[in-house]
Amino acid sequence: MTQLALVIDLNVCVGCHACVTSCKEWNTSGPAGYMTDENPYGKDPTGTFFNRVQTYEIGEFPHTETVHFPKSCLHCEEPPCVPVCPTGASYKREEDGIVLVDYDKCIGCRYCTWACPYGAREIDEDQKVMKKCTLCVDRIYDQSLPEAERKPACVLACPTSARLFGDVQDPESEVSVTIREQGGYQLMPEWGTKPSNHYLPRRKTRMHIHEDELQRADNPLNKEQRGPSAPVDAPTLDDSTSW
Amino acid sequence: MHPAFSVIFLTTLIGAGQGLFLAIFTGQSYSAVRLVATQDSTSFYGLGALLALLFLVAGLFASFFHLGRPERAWRAASMWRTSWLSREVIMLPALMGLIFIYSMMHFFGWDTVLFTSKEGTTLQLSLVVGTVAVIATFLLFICTAMIYASIKFLQEWACALTVVNYLLLGTASGFTLATLFANSTAPDLVPLYGSWAIIITAAAFVTRGASLIRNARIKSKSTIQTAIGIRHTHIQQKSMGMQGGSMNTRDFFHHKTAAFMQVIKWTFLVLVFPLPIILLWIGMESNSSGILLGAFISQYLGLIAERWFFFAQANHPQNLYYQTT
Ligand code: SF4
Ligand code: SF4
């Protein structure tokens, strides 16, 4: 079994939206056709995206922290959006676990959006079919690309490497090891959807310095008994001597 | 959720059509065992079933406005093994076909006696076809309601009461309509239909009330903490990742005030239940088609409000990700 997925490190994400724009760029130029934008330069721009970066504030001022939270289809292992689709347009691939929509079969009934607890599906208001993240299925197997580039566009674009891509079913893959060792977790585990994408939590890097560590106990200078210099506020020669 | 009028009209119209057919068939089956007088095939059973069919057709027509690609609608019949929506898509035309056959049998007298008992009660072919159609009617009610009740994280819907409500509310409006229909075509059936309409409406009041009480006390399983996986009691969304909104902010929010919701709730509680019961009562006493028409119109308009409220009240967990709409 293979289950391709993303691992997103919330500790590293700086909320730059590079994944959003590269996703849109790659997928709007893809074989499946453009991704609609309405009013792109107008007052209320809106359109179809596979990936959004949201921002949350944790805590109350002054003890707050900003978390940037990229969200796309999680390619659930038990995707509730698939069995509800009346046409079979939504399906999960056997070979790599990617959840896809067949745009030629979709009738745009929107039932699958009701059945996705994460709001990961967005209808294309122009083509009237359901769209969602494909994990760049048209790029990760493309033999004409150099091997290092056979990854989703968002993963390649991320300047901080907050996004990892790989097979979460293979226990030795980079993503599995990262999830295991760095506390990777799933969103809304309460619904049993088993999302394949995982998130890595914020991890605080703290240094603990004790009082006695500020003074070096075995400082050889102490032994040599170099005389202490005069306190800074003591009068200096300049203060007491007039030239 | 954002209530879509195409779906509101679909569910209320087919509900009334299904209820009307159940009423017409009740009339014929009661007459078969001589509980009520047999009516004229053409002007009552045939026409009544055709009227029910008309409601189903209107509902089907409304449903197409919900689809982005209606020309591909036929594909929706393919996944009946897993999808309640697909099952509905199969049951609705199947029921329409059965009701059409039933009404044609009455119109053109294509009916034979299959069996006569010693007491002289007869089993007619149209009764057999009608029974199959009744089963299909119930299955269609179940399919329609299960579309909503089967989504477990829409907690307001994921409940057996949803199925019961769809069944009872549809049947109630159908029997009210049947009372009106009978008043002009078969006056001796008015007490039968009128009293059933009142009983079913009262039963629906109990079950719909129960679901309102249940939904008012719902504790949602998902929270912003489980949605983004950060444990803190104070989490505030600052940006949804977009400026002008998306499908997620349009399709999942009703964008109405709590006061508006209350008004709709009380409107439907009055229009669907007490008002039609009173009007049915007066209409039956006075044999007035006008008053019975009022009862049906009140109940049907009320059901539109009821369905609007049903959709608006459901709070989808995805809304946790879209809090600054
Ligand atoms: S995240 Fe939503 S759309 Fe993606 S597989 Fe899971 S349920 Fe389906
Ligand atoms: S919108 Fe398309 S993919 Fe979604 S349930 Fe309907 S037919 Fe299936």
How far away is chain B from the Cα of A18, in angstroms, using its nearest Cα?
Answer: 12
Contacts of A20 in chain B (CB under 8 A): 241
The sign of the torsion formed by the CA atoms of A9, A14, A17, A19 equals negative
Distance A84 CA to ligand 2 centre (A): 8
pLDDT of residue A235: 77
Distance A79 CA to ligand 1 centre (A): 6
How far away is chain B from the Cα of A130, in angstroms, using its nearest Cα?
Answer: 9
Residues lower than pLDDT 70 in chain A: 223-228, 230, 243
Mean confidence (pLDDT) of chain B: 95
Residue among B143, B134, B159, B161 nearest B19 (CA):
B134
Distance B76 CA to ligand 2 centre (A): 9
CB–CB of B228 and A46 under 8 A? no
Residue among A238, A230, A199 nearest A68 (CA):
A199
Contacts of B236 in chain A (CB under 8 A): 56-57
Which ligand 2 atom is nearest residue A87's CA? 7
How far away is chain B from the Cα of A131, in angstroms, using its nearest Cα?
Answer: 11
CB–CB of B241 and A106 under 8 A? no
Alpha carbon distance B152, B143 (integer Å): 16
Where does residue B226 rank: exposed (0-12), middle (13-18), buried (19+ CB within 10 A)?
buried
pLDDT of residue B37: 87
Where does residue B176 rank: exposed (0-12), middle (13-18), buried (19+ CB within 10 A)?
buried
Which ligand 1 atom is nearest residue A121's CA? 3
Where does residue B216 rank: exposed (0-12), middle (13-18), buried (19+ CB within 10 A)?
exposed
Alpha carbon distance B4, B312 (integer Å): 10
With a 6 Å cutoff on the Cβ, whether A90 touches ligand 2 is: yes
How many alpha carbons lie under 13 Å from residue A145 in its C-beta half-sphere?
13
Where does residue B139 rank: exposed (0-12), middle (13-18), buried (19+ CB within 10 A)?
middle
Alpha carbon distance B259, B150 (integer Å): 29
Pick the ligand that lies closest to the CA of residue A107.
Answer: 2
pLDDT of residue B122: 81
Is the Cβ–Cβ distance between B79 and A112 less than 8 Å? no
Share of chain B above pLDDT 70, in %: 100
pLDDT of residue A31: 82
Please give the average per-residue pLDDT across B14-31, as a whole number: 96
With a 6 Å cutoff on the Cβ, whether A121 touches ligand 1 is: yes
Alpha carbon distance A228, A233 (integer Å): 14
Contacts for A178 with CB less than 8 Å, ≥ 6 apart: A7, A164, A184, A200
Instruction: Considering only the beta carbons, identify the residue of B68, B152, B229 that sits closest to A191.
Output: B152
CB–CB of B245 and A44 under 8 A? yes
Q: How many CB pairs under 8 A join A and B?
A: 178
Is the Cβ–Cβ distance between B159 and B7 less than 8 Å? no
With a 6 Å cutoff on the Cβ, whether A107 touches ligand 2 is: yes
CA angle A11, A17, A18 (to 5 degrees): 100
| pLDDT tens digits for range B229-288 | 999 999 999 999 888 889 999 999 999 999 999 999 999 999 999 999 999 999 999 999
With a 6 Å cutoff on the Cβ, whether A46 touches ligand 2 is: no
Q: Of all helices (H) and strands (E), which one includes residue B171?
A: helix B160-185
pLDDT of residue A86: 97
Residues A189-225: b if buried by 16+ CB within 10 A, e if exposed: eebebebbbbbbbeeeeeeeeeeeeeeeeeeeeeeee
Alpha carbon distance B311, B262 (integer Å): 14
Phi, psi (deg, nearest 5) at residue A47: 180, -175
Assign 3-state DSSP to chain B and report helix, strand, coil percentages, each to 5: 70, 5, 25
pLDDT of residue A213: 81
As for the ipTM of the complex, it is 0.92
Distance A91 CA to ligand 2 centre (A): 10
Residue among B263, B145, B278 nearest B202 (CA):
B278
Residue among B320, B305, B262 nearest A191 (CA):
B320
Is the Cβ–Cβ distance between B173 and B303 less than 8 Å? yes
Residues A41-68: b if buried by 16+ CB within 10 A, e if exposed: eeeeebbbbbbbbbbbbbeeeeeeeebb
Contacts of A45 in chain B (CB under 8 A): 243-244
| pLDDT tens digits for range B7-22 | 999 999 999 999 999 9
With a 6 Å cutoff on the Cβ, whether A116 touches ligand 1 is: yes
Instruction: Considering only the beta carbons, identify the residue of B1, B68, B235 that sits closest to A123.
Output: B68
Hey, of A17, A37, A48, A58, which one would you mutate to test binding to chain B, going by the most B CBs within 10 A of its CB? Answer: A58
Is the Cβ–Cβ distance between B153 and A117 less than 8 Å? yes
With a 6 Å cutoff on the Cβ, whether A81 touches ligand 2 is: no
Question: Confidence class of residue B189 from pLDDT cuts 50, 70 and 90?
Answer: very high
Strands B235-239 and A198-200, bridge-based pairing: unpaired
Pick the ligand that lies closest to the CA of residue A90.
Answer: 2
Share of chain B above pLDDT 90, in %: 89
Alpha carbon distance B9, B248 (integer Å): 23
Is the pLDDT at B42 greater than 90? The verdict is no
Query: Domains in chain B, start-ordered, CATH in brackets?
Result: 5-222+240-322 (1.20.1630.10)
Rg over alpha carbons for chain A, rounded to the nearest Å, is 27
Alpha carbon distance A91, A100 (integer Å): 6
For the beta carbon of residue B55, count every other beta carbon within 10 angstroms: 22
Hey, of A16, A81, A111, which one would you mutate to test binding to chain B, going by the most B CBs within 10 A of its CB? Answer: A111
Question: Confidence class of residue B325 from pLDDT cuts 50, 70 and 90?
Answer: low
| pLDDT tens digits for range A31-44 | 888 999 999 999 88
For the beta carbon of residue B122, count every other beta carbon within 10 angstroms: 12
CB–CB of B321 and A109 under 8 A? no
Strands A122-123 and A130-131, bridge-based pairing: antiparallel
Contacts for B194 with CB less than 8 Å, ≥ 6 apart: B179, B280, B281, B283, B284
Distance B142 CA to ligand 1 centre (A): 26
| pLDDT tens digits for range B226-241 | 999 999 999 999 999 8
Q: Which residue of A has its CA nearest to B234?
A: A59
pTM above 0.80, yes or no: yes
Where does residue A242 rank: exposed (0-12), middle (13-18), buried (19+ CB within 10 A)?
exposed
Q: Which two tokens stand for residue A200?
A: 């890595």
Pick the ligand that lies closest to the CA of residue B89.
Answer: 2
Contacts of B83 in chain A (CB under 8 A): 83-86, 111
pLDDT of residue A227: 62
Distance A196 CA to ligand 1 centre (A): 10
Contacts of A48 in chain B (CB under 8 A): 246-247
Rg over alpha carbons for chain B, rounded to the nearest Å, is 22
